[in-house]
Chain A
């Protein structure tokens, strides 16, 4: 192999990119050519110098934790279409939906009225805005539960036992309730507290036009990141759950912590 050819292959030689045959030829040449061997050492030293001296930067101590935190958050959210299934809170609301649906079916049997069918979700801002401005008054719940005590009893029973969710009923405190409206729909807002955090459950008697013709659930937050909403609408029922002072990150962190 000529000096010219060997010099052309020196980087491949240094980087172990040659096949066995080429390596043998280059090695043989270097063993017998002082000039090319000197050139090889020169180039090798450049490589060594880069390896020894190049500033690679050093990641801060917290970088790995920050990456893990972001991935944890991402995992907690999961695919958009499935996010609600991963949240105990949302699953609890789903239980309420089933219960309330049963109530509607029962009502239909009793009253003979057939509820209209609709699937719904809500545009994020629209939902947050409407829920946030719902008309609230004295505690006069009428629907879907006959009394606040009824609602509380069902919630506690389902959250604490039937669903076997990690939400402990004793940690869910009912602070009160009031009638509310969402557009033209009437309903009840239950004021709760879970681990000291305000938490509301809405139950409306019908699906407002704003949410009609949409899918069944959504997971929302306001732009200021201080408002988390999950809602369900099916048949003539509409539920939403609102964490009023949690950031999404705090909310998900709480869920993950359990």
Chain B
């Protein structure tokens, strides 16, 4: 690699090291494995940097390399990613009336309550998500990638990204609402009824 390319690599790729780690962690959920993935990602990125199209999103490019290395690792270990169907957790999106009713009747709309109420449960529910759904959501919410960038990183159509994020949030919302209900939290509608009773 020419020195100008090495300089460009340092400028383009190195600032994303923490983000690549967070992404690797979201994939592997193991700190040691995530760090190995980061090192392998940067080594491969360095070797392939001449194929990187300057001006495009380097972070998404690094994520794509990282994701492919992660999948290669699965293949090497003869371990398969967890690819359970998420259809069961989607709250009847195919039925618009039910979906509307779900939103209107069960929504938890208090930000303060939401943020105070949940802690590690969020991570627990995130781990329940199939890998591809969790990764899409994390790339969106934590890494701030747009749908197209996520599609590029994961090498899937943008419609698939949109669907995964939507289903992942629906799944999380449902789980969080169930948990809140177990804690005795009541929706606004229920509270209003209770207040009326008083």
> Taking the nearest CB of chain A, how far is it from the CB of B27, in angstroms?
10
User: Are B142's CB and A54's CB within 8 A?
Assistant: yes
Contacts of A107 in B (CB 8 A): none
Residue total for B at the interface (Cβ-Cβ under 8 A): 51
Q: Which residues of B contact A49 (CB under 8 A)?
A: 114-115, 118, 122, 172, 176
**Is there contact, CB below 8 Å, between B38 and A67?**
yes
B159 to chain A, nearest CB (A): 12
Q: Which of A19-71 contact B (CB under 8 A)?
A: 35-36, 38-39, 41-60, 63-64, 66-67, 70-71
Q: Are B108 and A45 in contact (CB under 8 A)?
A: yes
Considering the complex, which residues of chain B in the window 23-37 have a beta carbon less than 8 Å from any beta carbon of chain A?
A: 25-26, 31, 34-35
Contact with A along B160-171 (1 / 0, CB 8 A): 001001100100
Give the complex CA separation of A52 and B122 in angstroms: 10
A225 is an interface residue with CB less than 8 A from chain B: no
Residue in contact with B141 in the complex, picked from A45, A47, A63, A70, CB distance below 8 Å: A47
The verdict on B190 contacting chain A, using a C-beta distance below 8 Å, is no
B143 CB to closest chain A CB (Å) equals 9
By size class, the interface of chain A is 35 or more
Chain B residues with CB under 8 Å of A36's CB are: 103
Assess the B17–A63 pair: CB atoms within 8 A.
yes
A51 touching B162 in the complex, CB below 8 Å, given contacts A46-B172, A67-B17: no
Are A4 and B126 also in contact (CB < 8 A) when A35-B103, A59-B38, A71-B43 are?
A: no
Question: Residues of B contacting A16 with CB < 8 Å?
Answer: 146
Q: What's the nearest-Cβ distance from chain A to residue B59, in Å?
A: 15
**A52 adjacent to B38 (CB under 8 Å):** no
* Interface: B70 (CB within 8 A): no
Contacting A4 at CB < 8 Å: which of B96, B114, B162? B96
- Is B119 among interface residues, defined by CB-CB distance under 8 A? yes
Q: Are A74 and B46 in touch, CB under 8 angstroms?
A: yes
B165 CB contact (under 8 Å) in A3, A15, A48, A63:
A15
Whether A17 is near chain B, meaning CB under 8 Å from some CB there, is yes
**Which of B39, B99, B114, B172 counts the most A-chain CB atoms under 10 A from its CB?**
B114
With contacts A42-B109, A50-B137 known, is A57 near B21, CB below 8 A?
yes
Q: Within 8 Å of chain A (Cβ to Cβ): is B64?
A: no
A7 at the interface (CB under 8 A from B): yes
**Across the interface, which residues of A come within 8 angstroms of B188, CB to CB?**
38
Q: Which of A4, A42, A47, A64 has the most chain B CB atoms closer than 10 A to its own CB?
A: A42
B147 pairs with A17, CB closer than 8 A: yes
- Taken together as a complex, chains A and B put the C-alpha atoms of A54 and B196 apart, in Å, by 37
Q: B18 contacts the other chain (Cβ, under 8 Å)?
A: yes
CB closest residue in chain B, given A5: B96
Cβ B42 vs Cβ A67 within 8 A: yes
Q: In the assembled complex, which residues on chain B have CB atoms less than 8 Å from the CB atom of A74?
A: 43, 46-47
Q: Point out the residue from B18, B43, B142 that lies within 8 Å of A70, measured CB to CB.
A: B43
B104 close to chain A: CB less than 8 A: yes
**B100 on the A face (CB < 8 A):** yes
B109 touches A50 (CB 8 A): no
In the complex, besides A11-B162, A35-B104, A47-B169, 16 extra interface pairs with C-beta distance below 8 angstroms are A4-B96, A11-B169, A15-B165, A17-B162, A38-B188, A46-B173, A48-B111, A48-B114, A49-B115, A50-B137, A50-B138, A50-B172, A59-B21, A63-B35, A66-B35, A71-B42
Write 26 A-B pairs (CB below 8 A) sorted by A numbering.
A4-B100, A11-B169, A12-B147, A38-B107, A38-B109, A39-B104, A42-B107, A42-B109, A45-B109, A45-B110, A45-B114, A48-B115, A49-B114, A49-B115, A50-B141, A50-B142, A53-B118, A53-B123, A54-B126, A56-B26, A57-B21, A59-B34, A63-B21, A67-B38, A67-B39, A79-B1
Q: Which positions in A face B, CB cutoff 8 Å? A: 3-4, 7, 11-12, 15-17, 35-36, 38-39, 41-60, 63-64, 66-67, 70-71, 74-75, 78-79
The 7 closest A-B pairs by CB, nearest first: A42-B107, A57-B25, A39-B103, A41-B109, A53-B122, A45-B114, A59-B21
